[in-house]
């Protein structure tokens, strides 16, 4: 299957006036996912876990079958290690409050990278302040990569938690999370991997990585908005207290006390985003039918071409590692002397959709000495023609502003 055939599966992309280069924010949805959600509402709509009648039983089976599918998809050892959430942000907050708050003590250390999305940074600011522990950062070098020396100097015997993005949502840098996990475990720390920007593009094996926690959002991998996943090792999750309280996560409730349901239910309070779960299952089917080898083949061709063509534009500053093997699907850039929002607006007038702003990574922006960037992010439905349209639109933007650039 080639890219043009794949593109036909995405209804929104039938609009040829749209060049969609913002998949790092959210991917477009294939018709197979859209139909799976429609079918759920048309044939199986009921509240899982709450009815003895056959319709509710069927809804429960579909919901739980997706949990099993995800466990196999990331090679989790136990299906109950898969917890459904709204998104990666909620998953990371769950870990911070249910694990971090109960396990960090005064003078302990949490280590994260300067590349982290705010969702894997701000919770740790609050938790470390509450517990009297310390928040430290691993910084990047001139190639936008974390060196082995930086890892080994920042992760110490005082480190109890390490949080690391697998792929930077700003730089596209692929971090060697397996190496970081191995070193952190040697020092006695647990590791949280944010796979939001990696799992759409590459195979994840949590047992091979030996990750203690791993999170991702469904909407960045073809699934509907509002569904996320938290993976955690069973022995750790069993010791954690629930993050939210309410229906379906309890065992017994008395007037003055409550006992909680076993995994995974104790972390899934209230009615869940069932249609989102069903859609995520369909998205995983789509990815597996296409295969990660094919995904990487498509993306490598387009991203290599994008790196090549954008590097020819001497008015651009690129924020991308020169090591292509360590680079994923995101390219951030600025037209020198022009605000990224202005650039994005001109691109939009040409039908080219890119993100502009700080990308929920303000500390990284300050480290780089900038306020914001434009960001083009690619996926399986993008082609070299999309890159050409981006370059043409950038030329237009530059020509509009070049007489005003100091």
Supply the DSSP symbol for 255.
S
Burial group, residue 99, by CB count within 10 angstroms (0-12, 13-18, 19+): buried
The alpha carbon of 332 is separated from its chain's Cα centroid by a whole number of angstroms, namely 17
Give the DSSP letter string of 281-319: HHHHHHHHHH-HHHHHHHHHHHHHHHHHHHHT-TTEEEE
User: Is there a contact between 330 and 169 (Cβ–Cβ < 8 Å)?
Assistant: yes
Strands 228-232 and 82-85: antiparallel
Catalytic residue of the set 245, 250, 360, 400: 360
Give the DSSP letter string of 16-72: TT-EE-BTTT-----HHHHHHHHHIIIII-S-TTS-SSHHHHHHHHHHHHHHHHHHH
- Token pair for 365: 């922006």
CA–CA separation, 203 and 291 (whole Å): 9
Give the DSSP letter string of 176-231: -HHHHHHHHHHTT-EEEEE-TTTTTTS---HHHHT-SEEEEEGGGGTSPTT-EEEE
Residue 374 is among the residues annotated as catalytic for this protein: no
Sign of CA dihedral 190, 192, 198, 199: positive
Burial group, residue 280, by CB count within 10 angstroms (0-12, 13-18, 19+): buried
- Token pair for 197: 């920007």
Sign of CA dihedral 174, 176, 178, 181: negative
Q: Which residues contact 232 (CB under 8 A, 6 or more apart)?
A: 81, 83, 95, 212, 213, 240
User: Is there a contact between 160 and 236 (Cβ–Cβ < 8 Å)?
Assistant: no
User: Is there a contact between 48 and 176 (Cβ–Cβ < 8 Å)?
Assistant: no
Half-sphere exposure of 85 (CA within 13 A, CB side): 25
Half-sphere exposure of 394 (CA within 13 A, CB side): 25
**What amino acid positions are annotated as catalytic residues?**
360
């Amino acid at each position: 299957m080639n890219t043009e055939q794949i593109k036909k599966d995405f209804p929104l992309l039938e609009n040829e006036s749209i060049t969609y280069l913002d998949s790092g924010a959210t991917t477009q949805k294939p018709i197979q996912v859209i139909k799976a959600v429609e079918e759920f509402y048309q044939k199986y709509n009921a509240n899982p876990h709450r009815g003895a009648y056959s319709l509710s039983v069927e809804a429960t089976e579909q919901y739980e079958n997706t949990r099993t599918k995800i466990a196999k998809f990331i090679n989790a050892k136990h299906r109950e290690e898969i917890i459904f959430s709204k998104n990666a942000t909620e998953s990371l907050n769950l870990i911070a409050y249910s694990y971090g708050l109960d396990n960090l003590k005064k003078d302990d250390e949490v280590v994260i990278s300067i590349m982290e999305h705010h969702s894997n940074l701000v919770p740790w600011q609050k938790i470390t302040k509450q517990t009297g522990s310390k928040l430290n950062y691993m910084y990047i070098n001139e190639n936008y990569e974390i060196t082995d020396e930086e890892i080994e100097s920042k992760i110490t015997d005082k480190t109890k938690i390490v949080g690391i993005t697998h792929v930077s949502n700003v730089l596209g840098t692929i971090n060697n999370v397996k190496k970081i996990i191995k070193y952190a475990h040697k020092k006695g720390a647990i590791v949280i991997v944010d796979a939001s920007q990696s799992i759409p593009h590459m195979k994840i094996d949590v047992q091979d990585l030996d990750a203690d926690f791993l999170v991702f959002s469904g909407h960045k991998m073809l699934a509907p908005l509002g569904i996320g996943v938290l993976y955690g090792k069973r022995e750790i999750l069993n010791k954690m207290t629930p993050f939210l309280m309410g229906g379906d996560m309890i065992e017994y409730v008395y007037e003055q006390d409550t006992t909680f349901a076993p995994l995974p239910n104790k972390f899934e309070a209230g009615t869940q985003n069932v249609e989102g779960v069903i859609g995520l299952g369909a998205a995983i089917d789509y990815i597996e039918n296409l295969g990660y080898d094919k995904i990487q083949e498509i993306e490598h061709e387009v991203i290599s071409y994008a790196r090549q063509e954008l590097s020819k534009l001497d008015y651009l500053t690129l924020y991308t590692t020169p090591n292509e093997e360590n680079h994923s699907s995101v390219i951030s850039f600025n037209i020198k002397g022009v605000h990224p929002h202005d650039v994005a607006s001109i691109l939009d007038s040409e039908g080219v959709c890119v993100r502009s702003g700080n990308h929920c990574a303000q500390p990284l922006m300050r480290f780089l000495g900038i306020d914001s960037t434009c960001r083009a992010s690619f996926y399986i439905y993008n082609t070299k023609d999309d890159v050409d349209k981006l370059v043409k639109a950038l030329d237009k933007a530059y020509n509009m502003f070049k007489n005003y650039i100091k």
